[in-house]
Amino acid sequence: MEILYKKSRMLTDTPLSYCPGCTHGIVHKLLAETLEEIGAEGNVIGIAPVGCSVFAYKFFNCDMQQVAHGRAPACATGIKRCNPDKIVFAYQGDGDIASIGIAEIIHAAARGENITVIFINNAIYGMTGGQMAPTTLVGQKTTTTPYGRVVGINGNPIRLCEMIATLDGPCFVSRVSVSDPVNVRKAKKAIKKGFENQINKKGFSLIEVLSTCPTNWHMNPVQSLDYVKNEMTKIFPLGVFKDCQEGN
């Protein structure tokens, strides 16, 4: 009997602490499968952020470091410089990377640190109860914008990938989504490319993953996947924004 699909060895048996239908679980799986495929078992150090994924160190079967809010790229820089032969990845949410940690990510990208950063964009602060994040869509209702985000009062959403792609330091900047099986496969390819760049010492890679938060969006998991596909991709277009191998 042939196994077509089974859980990756890089994930532990600890039950995920995420809500039902949260796509953090899908991205964890993609990361674990990619690391397993590139043969990096036992040679990886991950950085867990602050946010819903703060317990990521329990779920990955590799060395993990949990860091202060937004400081994952800074910590990853230190770990990578001390352990240049290890594969280092930082895993961050949108409140973590685009709000409190925006200085760290921009300077890590500008320095072209040889790390891979996975950015989960679900347009809301999930863990603290659904407040407005820098990436919240215009008109989206959150607990701090109960009538919808208004540009004149709350500003515009930040497109981090486009910002980072203007810098000279980063090697690979891409935005993917996990809204359906096709996009999940594409996301896996992008994550794999991010790690291959790191192995080949090409420099900084940022992969933004459009993700869901069914609980705080007040939708069921299937509706929230449709919301990503139909609404979020209008504001956050998918694609590759910088790829040093193609000379962009």
Contact residues: another protein, CB under 8 A: 1-8, 11, 15-16, 18-26, 29, 180-181, 184-185, 214, 220-222, 225
> Whole-number minimum distance, CB 11 to another protein, in Å?
6
Helix 24-37 × helix 181-199 angle, to 10°? 50
Give 9 or 81: the residue with its C-beta nearer to another protein.
Answer: 9
| Residues 66, 196: Cα–Cα separation, whole Å | 24
Give 81 or 189: the residue with its C-beta nearer to another protein.
Answer: 189
What is the maximal distance between C-alpha atoms in the chain? 61
> Whole-number minimum distance, CB 89 to another protein, in Å?
19
Quick count: other Cβ atoms within 10 Å of Cβ 199? Answer: 14
Q: Which residues pair with 64 in a beta bridge?
A: 46
Give 91 or 241: the residue with its C-beta nearer to another protein.
Answer: 91
> Whole-number minimum distance, CB 200 to another protein, in Å?
27
Non-local (6+) Cβ contacts of 144 within 8 A are 131, 132
Contact (CB, 8 A) for 238 and 211: no
Residue bearing tokens 């040679």: 43
> Whole-number minimum distance, CB 15 to another protein, in Å?
7
Strand 87-93 relative to strand 172-177, pairing = unpaired
Q: How far apart are the first and last CA of the chain?
A: 46
Residue bearing tokens 């964890």: 28
Give 114 or 216: the residue with its C-beta nearer to another protein.
Answer: 216
Give 16 or 47: the residue with its C-beta nearer to another protein.
Answer: 16
> Whole-number minimum distance, CB 21 to another protein, in Å?
3
Give 7 or 81: the residue with its C-beta nearer to another protein.
Answer: 7
> Whole-number minimum distance, CB 126 to another protein, in Å?
14
